[in-house]
Amino acid sequence: MHETDPTRIPKLIARLQDAWEGQPDLTLPAFLGVLQNRGLSWGSTEDELLAILDEVAREHPSLLTAPLERTVCIATTAPQLTITLTSTTAIVRNAADPKRMPGVWRYDAFRPTGPGRPLVVRDTEGVEHRLGVVEMITGLPPKDADMLDGLRRVDVGSERWLLQCEDGSRVILGQRIWLWTVQGRQSLLETIAWDQLLACTPGAEIVVAPAGGGRPRKLGLLKEAYLLEA
C-alpha cells in the first residue's frame, strides 16, 4: 500500500492502540518515548514503526488467551498479586506480603484477559481462582532450567526462579535466596545470602555455596524449576 493512501491510517492507529493497551499506565507521550528508545525517529518508515509496535506488544500483550505459547508474568490488583503462568502451572505470589509462601498448582484453563480485566484461572480440579484485576502482562523469554546448575549470583541479574522441592519446600532464587520449609500446618521463611548454585538438577539435592565462604548448604531435592521474572 502506498504511503500516501489514507486508508492505511486506521490500521496503523489500531496497531498503536493494541501495543499501548498492553501498558495503559503510560501516558501517550511516555509510550511514544518508549518507542523512541527502541529506535523510532522522524525518519523511520511505517514498516519500521510496525516492527517496533509488534515487539512492544509481544513483551506486554493487551490480550492473553489460552493455550499459552510461552510463560508470562502477570501483575494484578485487588488483591495485589504476581502470577506466573506456564502452559500448565500457576505460581501465585503475594506482592503486598512477599514473605508469604508462593502457591503452586496445575491449571487447565483461564478466561481471556488483559490490562483492566479480571484474571480467572481454573485449576485441574475444576475450581476457578479469581486472582484480581490485571495491571500488566509481561512475556518471559524461554529459559532452560539446566542453566541453573553452577549459576553464580552475579550472573542472575533481574531474574527470579522458583525451585520446588520434593518435600514441599519452596525456594525463590534471585539476588538472595528465600527458602520456605513446611512444618505441620506452618511454613517458615529463611533468607540466605549466596554465591553460587553448586548443584541444581531435578531429582538431586540443591546445593548452595553461601556468600563469604563456609560449608555448602543443602536446600532439598529439586522437583521442578520455573522462571518467574526476567
Q: What is the pLDDT of residue 1?
A: 47
pLDDT over 90, % of the chain: 92
- b/e sequence 102-116, b meaning 16+ C-beta within 10 Å: bebeebeebeebbbe
pLDDT band, very low/low/confident/very high, at 87 (cuts 50, 70, 90): very high
pLDDT digits (tens, 9 = 90+) for 164-204: 999 999 999 999 999 999 988 899 999 999 999 999 999 99
53 CB neighbour count, 10 Å cutoff: 20
pTM exceeding 0.75 = yes
| Torsion sign, CA atoms 85, 179, 81, 22 | negative
Would you kindly state where each structural domain of the chain is located, as residue ranges?
7-59, 72-139, 145-229
Question: With 70 as the cut, is the pLDDT of residue 2 above it?
Answer: no
pLDDT in tens, 17-63: 999 999 999 999 999 999 999 999 999 999 999 999 999 999 999 99
> According to DSSP H, which parts of the chain are helical?
9-21, 28-37, 46-59
Q: Environment class of residue 25 by beta-carbon count within 10 Å: exposed (0-12), middle (13-18) or buried (19+)?
A: exposed
Phi-psi region of 108 (alpha: psi -120 to 50; beta: other; left: phi over 0): alpha
CA dist 136 to 33, 98, 121, 139, Å?
18, 18, 16, 10
